[in-house]
Each structure stands twice: as structure tokens, then as C-alpha cells.
Chain A
């Protein structure tokens, strides 16, 4: 159910952009349904949870890594989930008016997604799943802070928040893995109930703490939170006050009962907590922007909360959880009040706001309640929780636990009283700044806020008051959690009156000092100004970002030279070096024979000569033909070496390649560029020689390494038994290693699409013209000769000067034969040399010949459809053949043989993998058709439109096809 509720958030979030287009800002009402349904569901679970039960939802995910999708909701989780959902409802309802006139659904969508993620975060039991939710909230926070990427402040703040919190998150991940290795479980509940010990567990727990501190903006990570105020106010109210920053507090609260005793945990929590509380409050005292004031206040309160829940005594735990609740209530109220003031007055600067309290007294009262709760004044809930906190500290001073000495506890108490005094000070400053009349401030312009917009914070503010009188109930609610902390005495619980006691005295001192801080605020500001400026954590952060960028510039400049030949040279040098190193260690080299027979030697020497000539040739066509010689030579060597399939395919491919080259090279200059790179020639020769020698040696070593039984020995039997084919190579291609083949034909499809896109640029589908249409568009208007006896129908479209009747006649006769041969190769390929590749190449060549004989219209006559259909159809057929056996209870790519008895012709023996081979055939034909249409017809068309490049005679350059101007 919980997952379903999270999914509701995700689905609503996904449809938000569509909804916003229709509903505008009213979409927020719809979005509020997601947290609302979750909140109501949580309420129905309340009796069970309060009775001490757990709600559990288990789904498997990656059992091998102990990762499962378990959600477990105990008391703490339930409390946090209640905060997340109900504050979420409030914020979303409030946003409906705050974002009046909404046009973009981006922030609304992300906000909803965030609410769902947060729900998952506080209920996840598996640490990896928790981490995923954790990082998702970081990302959503990043998107929300950077909601307006055109503003530098938003970009910078979003970036800072992202870097700081993910750094902490990654540390936490390491901590999770450390705890996993130490305990063998990833379940949060098991980890806490049976805590591992030892160095690894300590390191893990402390790293988790670092993650939590970064998320909750404790010193030294505190600086990202005020920056995050660049987000719109409702988002700040939710993410950066009530929900996301509480994630760290939640984690500490869950871990502390088990890990508070590990070394450094308590000192870190106490020191950083108080430091954060004081630094945050101290800075809040001098803010003039109401929202920033609240942000620093939040930093201060977060320090306070982490300190309380992290210290690991029963009384402190109770106070800490109480503070989490009261803080969520008053801080979101205050943020919404600021949003309201900002919205209605157009400013939230203390120096410009004056007389708001007279204009809207109800708002002043309401915000006053929340501010009093923040300051910890009775009879509000903030007072209850602060009293409880003081009580926990007093317990420490009188020796609650051994680990904390009386002096440390006293220092802590003093620091907390001081922190609370500052809190009183900035709470007063907030209220005064927002509502008081100030002399010298500009006149207030105020427009009435919508009732709903005012209603939400009013309700939340009233809750702070109501809850103030519900202390005993709150105590009953949270006590089961506190009791799980086995250290220290239990507290007296939350109540408005405990009698005259130390906590009360501390409250009075804090109140008195706080009022003094406010009254003498200008003196205090002067004093603050005299403090020496030290290096702040934020400056260090920016320096390190700057340094990182500098390092990346230097490293990039040194390693990324931007020259293809340098990259390739580096790769090749490494190849030579590593291979040489390995070969130097070989003690026994294989024996060799010089050659097998004289024809072999002859062919090999011709190939070698052709290769060397090709490398030094300056003529384009000459080089192409010389490379072709090496290809045909290779085919001969294959034929002599017992590889008929290879020989066949190599001959066909070489022919196609030479034709394709000639088609393109006709538009290119005759000679290669006179290269200015002569200076590096000898380097290139050196690398070439080194690589060549390495390759020769590697092939010798490879032969020598053939000592084990080749895996392909079994194929001899298996090919016929399981693949039902005699041609072992073909069975390997369509059955044994068919996935490789599938990858290969995908490459063919990609390459063909690339070729077509580079020629036709805008459209993959080419407009086909029949011969009749081609005649219609001609100015001299000859009639198409469709009489029988015409050899090739489109032949007449060519100029008589380039027409060759003999070629047309031969083509006419050859085409049908070639297609039959190609089909024969395709079907016979399973038992004899051939197969889909060879067959497809022959069919493709038949198409090429039609094009060569009578031009592009003839190609369209031969194949009156788009090549993409062949490519897609072939790929689909191959895929279908691969997965079809699954539906008959077989495995992927399993082969079946089918024997069809055809009358007269006898038996036709078909193997199901032939279907796969037909797919290969279609892809190859499609690719060659695409190439012919692009590099043949397409370039013809370019030439007729005068956008083909024109080689400059006696030059190595051409006139660009677009006249140089594109």
C-alpha cells in the first residue's frame, strides 16, 4: 500500500505538465490529493503503530546483494511520515495561491515527486533503497532550487546544495557498505537491533553520520541551506524547513540508540550540534531578509535537533523527537507567513516593511504564535519541547551517563542556554521586522491575500498552540521511541508546568538574555561587526570548487590534444608496449613453417606489395584499387585455408566496397592532399613498423597458444545435432553465436541509416520516382517507351552519350539469375557455403548493377520501396526468430527442424534458424539498397542540383557543394 501511495505521487507528478496546461494553478489541489491520501492512510494505521506494532511491506529485488524493497514503519517512521504528508498537503494547497497564474508545471511536478520520495525515504528499511530515496531528494532539491536557471543565484545555490549533499551522500554510501560488511545485513531494523561492533562498524556509523550532517546542514556543511532559499517560498517551507533537511535528523534518530556509544559519535554530535545552533542563530540575528533570517534559524534548530536525538540518552531522545514535531509546525507556518507578506507587500526586507501588523493584525497574531513557539515560550508546543531538552541536559550534568563528564555537560548546558537566548532574540527580531511600524520605512503597499492562502498557515499556527496543551498525549506518543534508548534516565515528559526546577530557570535566563539581545540589537550588531573575519566553510567550499575546475582545465589541456592522430598514436603505442612486455616473458616460442605451398607465397607477396603501394600512393583511385587487391588476395588465402564461407563473403564484400568507393570517388579530387605533415612522417613509419611487427609476433604466439582443446571441436557434432545444419560456420552465426550476429546486423542498420542521413540530411525516406514520372517532369517531353522488348525501362532516362546498350542487355539477363543465386545461397547456406550474408550481398549487387546500367530511376524500378523497410523488417524478423522459441517452451534462439513434404519436389528440410538468416539477408539487402540509393542516386541528385562537390583540376581540393557558403 505504501508503495502504491508513493506511486500515486509519481503518477500525478508525471502528468502535472499536462494538467497545468488545462487547470493552471488549480492543479495544486489535484496534486495535494497524493500526500492527502497517504496522510489519511497513515492515520488509519495510527492505532496499530501506537500499540507498538510495525507496518511491513516486502518485495524482493536483488537477493544476491541483500537488496530488497522492504518498507518498515515503526513509530519514528510514522511520525516523520505524518509530518511529510500533512505538511505536504498544506504546502501544496498553499501553493495553489502562491503560484497564481502558473504556466509551467515543472516545479509543481518536482514538488509532488519529492513528497513521494520523502515518504519512501522515511519508511525504507533497506539501506540501499534508503540511499536511493536519499539521493533522489537531493536531485529534486537541486531542481527546485534551480527552478529559474537563468538567474545566477539560482544556479549557484542549486549547484552548491547538490555538491555538498551528494558528497555527504556518497560518504554515507561508503558507510552503508562498511556497516553491511561488518554486520552482514542491509536492513536498518536488524542493524539497529543487533548493532555490529569493531573498527569497520565504527567507521561505517561515523560515515553515515557525515551523510546525515550534510543533509541537515550542520557545521561545516551549513552554508548550502541559506543559499537554497533561492527556491520559491513554499518550496523552502517544505524542503528546507519541514521535510528534506529532517532526513538527516531522522537518520541520526534511528541510528543513535545503537551507535551513540561508538567512539567520536557523541563528541561530534555535541560539538557540531551546539556550534551549528550558535552560528546559525548568531547569523540570523543580523539578517534583514525575513526568509534568510528563517533559514539561519532553521540551521540553528537543526543543530539543536541533531544534538538532542544524537546524544543517545532517553530524555534527550524524547525532547529531540518532540522538537522535530514542533519545529515542523512553527517553521512551515513562519515560512508561509513570509510568503504571504512577500506576495502581498512585494518585499520581505525588514527595512522596507512597516506597519504590516496594523494592516493585518490577525496575521501578526498568528505569526506571533509561531514565533513564540520558536522562541520556546509557553503555552506553545515549542516551550514544551525546549523544557524537555533542558531537562535532558540537566540530567547529563548530574551524571546521567558515564561517557559525558560533568564539565562537558555543564558546558553543553551553558551553550544551549546561550543558543536558546539567541533563538529568542531572532524570533523577536523576526516578529518585529515583519509587523512593527518603523520610522523611515517606505509606505506599505498591501493587497489582500486570498483566503485559502491565509488559511493554511493560520491552521498550522493554531496547531502549535493546541499542541501546547497536549503535552501528556505527546509524551505518550513518543515515549515508546525514547524507551528504546537504553542510556540515561527517562525524562518527565512534556508538560506546561513541572514545578520550580532547573529547566524552568534556564528558560527564564534564556528569555531574559534573548530580550536583551533584541533590545540592544544595534549594539549587538556593532559588536558583531568588530569580530575578526575568519575563513568560513563556504569560502573553503568555493575555493575547492575553483581548484577543481583549474585542475580539470590543466588535465584536459595536457591529455586532450584534440588531434586524431595523436590519440590513435597513443593507443597504438600502448598496444605495442603491453604486447611487447607480455611477449618478453615468453620462454618457448612456437615452431614455424615458412609457408604451405607456392601459390600461398605468391598471393601473400602480391598482397604485401599492394599494401605497401597503397600506403604510399597519392592517387585516390589507385589506392582504392590497391586496397582491393589485398582484399581479393585475402579471399584467395581463405579459399586455400579451408574457409570457403569466408572466401565467398570476402569476394562479395570486396566487390561491393570497390563499387561503392568508385561511386563516391568520382566526385572527389584525383589526388590526396599534399600533406603538410612530412615532419611527422618518420614517426608514423616507426609506429606502423612497431605495430606491424607486434601483430606478426602476436599471430605466432597465438598459434603457439593453441594447446587446449578448441571449444569448437564440439561444434562438429553439435552443429548437426542441435543446429540441424552441416555448415558449422553458418550454424555458429545463426544459432550458436546468434546474439553476436544480431548485434552485427544492428550495426549494419545503424551504418546504413548514417549513410542515408549524411546524404539526404533531412529525411530518411526518399521520394521515389517511377520512370513514367521522371519523363513527365522532363522539358523535352519524350514518351516513355513501355513497349515489350525494352531491356531496361529507365535506360531512356539517361543521356544517349552515357548509355550502353550492351550493359543494359547483360543486366537484364543477369539480374534474375543473380536474385535466384542469392536465394539459393540463403537457403543452402545452412548446409553448404553461403548463408544470409552472402545471399544478401549477391542480391544487393544485383541492385547495384541495375543502378549502374540505367541510373537512379532504374534502381527505383528494381526496388520501389524505402530501404528502411527492409532494414527494419529484417531486424524485426531476426528478433522474432530469436524470441519465438520462448513461446513454445524453448529457450531464446533454440532451433527446430521442420520437414515439409512437398508433392513432386520431394522433401524440403527447413530449420527454424533459417528465419533468422532471412532476417540477416533482408538487413544486408536493405543496407546495400540504402548505400546504392545514397551514394549512387543521392550523389547524382546532388550533382543535378549542383550541390555536389566539384574537384578542382590539378588540385587536391574541391569546390564545396554549397558554393562554400552552405
Chain B
């Protein structure tokens, strides 16, 4: 089976553009990156489906060999609709971010920065408790 080079390269370009956007900080751009990249991946499925044939509908052609492979199509159909749902959700998050902060940049996690500080100071985590109780100490006295 031969591969369609132009479509394969186009898929690669779409994914590359998507990845470039994905590594951004602005949530809107990240979302656009996801969308371009998923268009690229869907195109990749079209390439991987082999030589295109007639629409996969019974009655077209004389048999299974004449129509396109329906399996990748079913997968891609699912992917298209899911991408739409994801887009709507992430877009709303971007809107909400503007509503709260006036920008939609994905900030670095503050908690992780605090853990790095702890590591630099060579100390234990904040939730750690030194639970030593001596066998005569007041610590162990219960009700």
C-alpha cells in the first residue's frame, strides 16, 4: 500500500503548528493549538486509512474492497465531536480567567514553587508532623 506524501506532510505541519501553540502560556492559544493539532491527527488517520475508495456505504461498489476503510472514520468522527466539546470547555475557562484576572495566562503552580523552596532549605514538607511520643511523655495522655 502506498502512502500519500503530501497529506502526511500536511498532517505533520498542522501538528507542528499545534504543538508550537500548545507550549504557549495564553489559554486561548493553547486551545487553538489543540484544535490545529487534532485536525492534523485526524488528517493522519485519513492517510493511515490507506487508499481512498468510495464512501463506506453498502451498495456503493461491489464489496468491501471498493470502499474506504470505515474503522478510522468512526474513530475520527468521535474525535471531531470530542474536540468540539473540549474547545467549548477550555474557551469558557479562558473567559473565566479573563473575568477573574484580566488575562488568560496559565501561571506556574505556586504550591510547586513552595515545595522547591522546602527542598532548597532541606526541610520536611509542611504536613509532616514529628510524632515522637516518649513512653512517659505528656503527649500520649488521652482522655
Interchain Cβ contacts under 8 Å between A and B, 17 examples: A152-B129, A157-B140, A233-B142, A289-B136, A292-B135, A538-B132, A645-B77, A646-B77, A650-B42, A673-B25, A680-B23, A699-B47, A703-B48, A726-B57, A733-B77, A949-B102, A960-B100
What A residues does B106 contact at CB under 8 A? 564
What B residues does A557 contact at CB under 8 A? 112, 115-116, 118-120
What A residues does B96 contact at CB under 8 A? 758-759
- Complex: chain A residue closest to B6, CB-CB: A595
Query: A606-630 vs B: 1/0 string, CB under 8 Å?
Result: 0110011011000010011001001
For window 63-92 of chain A, which residues contact chain B by CB distance below 8 Å?
Answer: none
Whether B41 lies near A153 (C-beta < 8 A) is no
Whether B124 lies near A553 (C-beta < 8 A) is yes
Interface centre among B10, B12, B141 (most CB of A within 10 A): B10
- Closest 6 A-B residue pairs measured CB to CB? A156-B131, A692-B16, A562-B112, A562-B109, A696-B12, A557-B119
Whether A643 lies near B85 (C-beta < 8 A) is no
What A residues does B120 contact at CB under 8 A? 557
Whether B20 lies near A153 (C-beta < 8 A) is no
B interface: dominant SS: helix
Q: A634-B43, A695-B40, A727-B57 are in contact. Are A292 and B13 (CB under 8 A)?
A: no
Q: A562-B113, A719-B58 are in contact. Are A700 and B3 (CB under 8 A)?
A: yes
Interface centre among B19, B104, B120, B142 (most CB of A within 10 A): B142
Cα(A605)–Cα(B14), bound, Å: 11
- Where the two chains meet, the residues of B that have a C-beta atom closer than 8 Å to any C-beta of A are 1-26, 28-30, 32-33, 35-36, 39-44, 46-50, 52-59, 63-64, 67-71, 73-74, 76-78, 80-89, 91-96, 98-106, 108-113, 115-116, 118-120, 122-125, 128-133, 135-136, 139-143
Whether B103 lies near A956 (C-beta < 8 A) is yes
A947 at interface by CB-CB < 8 Å: yes
Cα(A715)–Cα(B67), bound, Å: 11
Q: A627-B36, A688-B20, A729-B77 are in contact. Are A755 and B88 (CB under 8 A)?
A: yes
Cα(A291)–Cα(B136), bound, Å: 11
Cα(A924)–Cα(B143), bound, Å: 59
- Complex: chain A residue closest to B59, CB-CB: A726
Whether B135 lies near A688 (C-beta < 8 A) is no
What A residues does B84 contact at CB under 8 A? 653, 656-657
Cα(A594)–Cα(B26), bound, Å: 37
Cα(A695)–Cα(B47), bound, Å: 11
Whether B77 lies near A837 (C-beta < 8 A) is yes
What A residues does B46 contact at CB under 8 A? 637-638, 641, 643
What A residues does B48 contact at CB under 8 A? 699, 702-703, 706
For window 569-610 of chain A, which residues contact chain B by CB distance below 8 Å?
Answer: 569, 572, 590-596, 600-601, 604-605, 607-608
Whether A623 lies near B32 (C-beta < 8 A) is yes
Q: A292-B140, A644-B55, A729-B77 are in contact. Are A747 and B47 (CB under 8 A)?
A: no
Whether B73 lies near A729 (C-beta < 8 A) is yes
Whether B129 lies near A710 (C-beta < 8 A) is no
A294 to chain B, nearest CB (A): 12
What B residues does A677 contact at CB under 8 A? 24-25
Cα(A704)–Cα(B5), bound, Å: 12
Cα(A924)–Cα(B85), bound, Å: 10
Whether B13 lies near A608 (C-beta < 8 A) is yes
B137 to chain A, nearest CB (A): 9
Cα(A741)–Cα(B74), bound, Å: 10
Whether A596 lies near B52 (C-beta < 8 A) is yes
What B residues does A563 contact at CB under 8 A? 108-109
What A residues does B135 contact at CB under 8 A? 226, 283, 287, 292, 296
**What is the total number of residues of chain A having a CB less than 8 Å from a CB of chain B?**
167
What B residues does A193 contact at CB under 8 A? none
What A residues does B73 contact at CB under 8 A? 643, 645-646, 729, 732
Q: Which of A649, A715, A949 contacts B99 (CB 8 A)?
A: A949
- Complex: chain B residue closest to A590, CB-CB: B3
Whether A565 lies near B74 (C-beta < 8 A) is no
Query: A851-882 vs B: 1/0 string, CB under 8 Å?
Result: 00000000000000000000000000000000
Whether B98 lies near A593 (C-beta < 8 A) is no
- Complex: chain A residue closest to B138, CB-CB: A153
A26 at interface by CB-CB < 8 Å: no
Q: A562-B113, A712-B70, A744-B81 are in contact. Are A942 and B58 (CB under 8 A)?
A: no
Q: A292-B135, A962-B99 are in contact. Are A614 and B92 (CB under 8 A)?
A: no
- Complex: chain B residue closest to A607, CB-CB: B10
A774 at interface by CB-CB < 8 Å: no
Q: Which of A153, A595, A714 contacts B141 (CB 8 A)?
A: A153
A833 at interface by CB-CB < 8 Å: yes
Query: A652-670 vs B: 1/0 string, CB under 8 Å?
Result: 0100110011001101100
A778 at interface by CB-CB < 8 Å: no
Interface centre among B11, B74, B118 (most CB of A within 10 A): B74
Whether A758 lies near B92 (C-beta < 8 A) is yes
For window 700-752 of chain A, which residues contact chain B by CB distance below 8 Å?
Answer: 700, 702-704, 706-707, 710-717, 719-720, 725-729, 732-733, 736-737, 740-741, 744, 747-748, 751-752
